[in-house]
């Protein structure tokens, strides 16, 4: 959790270095894209300034090194040498954003960092670019228009969700860009089944404000919490995700798989 807080503070600080951009689509296009199931920010529409990205990656590596008790020689090599190859970096970023897993693994294999670590580093370093790009569009958009299992803004999977206290709407939050959107309570976000017989939830230690929804159709699960007293914009889901790691274990023990790849846990 300490690592998460420091990463988040660093992301916030560095996002100020990312130049402001005019939205790449106009008002009418925003709802049209949502209706058609297209993303508000398609992978090729995200402008990533490599000089700024390298700066963000360097600082975040510094944060991770500080928090790690193991010596991290690969990190040093990565930052000092490998990060300088902008052509390779740019290809890796494109493969990440396009979710081209084959190309991504091929390129990541050419770095000395552990692939999981590099994935996490790219994820947390690209997120500020996505925030910057998405925020202007999200204000104009009705993201609840069509039930979407993936983020209507960037296409990433939800990290988890919460029940909005004022109206009971189930709100999911994107693991990459942090956008939030409403999603039906009785539907699996991953396979969209509404078969009641396939959907159930479990909770631990009598605390039913934190639940795991299990789907027997696709065998995936999503965690949904109810904020206790906090306003929903103060409810930090990546922290709630870490605080509910015991629920991930409970779901995995029962043979279910997390719908979205984890970044910190």
- Using the rule CB under 5 A, which residue among 151, 187, 212, 222 binds Zn ion? 151
- Using the rule CB under 5 A, which residue among 124, 188, 222, 247 binds Zn ion? 188
217-246 positions binding Zn ion, by CB under 5 A: 217-218
Instruction: Choose the stretch contacting Zn ion; rule: CB under 5 A; options: 48-56, 77-85, 96-104, 169-177.
Output: 169-177
Report in angstroms how near the CB of residue 192 gets to Zn ion at its nearest.
7
Residues 6+ apart with CB under 8 A from 102: none
Among 129, 130, 107, CA closest to 119 = 107
Measured from the CB atom, is 173 or 240 closer to Zn ion? Answer: 173
Measured from the CB atom, is 204 or 218 closer to Zn ion? Answer: 218
CA dihedral (67, 69, 75, 76) in degrees, to 10, reads 100
For position 173 contacting Zn ion by CB under 5 A, the verdict is no
For position 153 contacting Zn ion by CB under 5 A, the verdict is yes
For position 190 contacting Zn ion by CB under 5 A, the verdict is yes
The 10 Å Cβ neighbour count of residue 65 is 14
- Using the rule CB under 5 A, which residue among 154, 159, 172, 251 binds Zn ion? 154
Report in angstroms how near the CB of residue 250 gets to Zn ion at its nearest.
18
Measured from the CB atom, is 64 or 153 closer to Zn ion? Answer: 153
In the block, residue with structure tokens 């159930």: 200
Concatenated DSSP letters for 41-105? S-GGG----HHHHHHHHHHHHHHHHHH-SS--HHHHHHHHTGGG-HHHHHHHHHHHHTT-HHHHH
Rounded (10°) angle between helices 50-67 and 73-80: 160
Measured from the CB atom, is 93 or 154 closer to Zn ion? Answer: 154
Report in angstroms how near the CB of residue 193 gets to Zn ion at its nearest.
5
Decide: 162 and 226 in contact? Cβ < 8 Å: yes
Cα–Cα dist 64/45, whole Å: 29
Cα–Cα dist 13/198, whole Å: 44
For position 104 contacting Zn ion by CB under 5 A, the verdict is no
For position 247 contacting Zn ion by CB under 5 A, the verdict is no
Measured from the CB atom, is 169 or 191 closer to Zn ion? Answer: 191
Binding interface with Zn ion (CB under 5 A): 151, 153-154, 156, 174, 176-177, 179, 188, 190-191, 215, 217-218
């Amino acid at each position: 959790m300490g690592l998460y807080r420091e990463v988040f503070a660093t992301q916030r600080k560095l996002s100020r270095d990312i130049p402001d951009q005019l939205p790449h689509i106009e008002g009418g296009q925003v709802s049209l894209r949502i209706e058609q199931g297209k993303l508000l920010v398609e992978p090729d529409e995200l402008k990533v300034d490599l000089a700024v990205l390298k700066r963000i990656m360097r600082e975040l590596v510094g944060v991770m090194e500080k928090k790690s008790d193991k010596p991290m020689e690969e990190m040093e090599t990565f930052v000092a040498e490998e990060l300088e190859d902008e052509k390779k970096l740019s290809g890796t970023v494109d493969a990440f954003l396009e979710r081209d897993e084959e190309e991504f693994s091929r390129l990541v294999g050419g770095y000395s960092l552990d692939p999981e670590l590099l994935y996490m580093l790219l994820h947390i370093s690209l997120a500020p670019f996505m925030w910057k790009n998405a925020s202007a569009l999200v204000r104009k958009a009705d993201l609840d228009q069509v039930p979407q299992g993936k983020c209507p803004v960037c296409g990433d999977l939800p990290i988890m969700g919460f029940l909005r206290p004022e109206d009971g709407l189930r709100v999911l939050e994107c693991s990459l860009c942090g956008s939030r959107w409403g999603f039906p309570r009785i539907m699996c976000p991953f396979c969209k089944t509404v078969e009641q017989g396939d959907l159930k939830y479990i909770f631990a230690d009598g605390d039913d404000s934190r639940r795991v929804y299990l789907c027997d159709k696709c065998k995936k699960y999503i965690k949904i919490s109810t904020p206790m007293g906090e306003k929903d914009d103060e409810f930090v889901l990546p922290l709630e995700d870490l605080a509910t790691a015991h629920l991930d274990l409970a779901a995995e023990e029962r043979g279910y798989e997390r719908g979205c790849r984890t970044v910190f846990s």
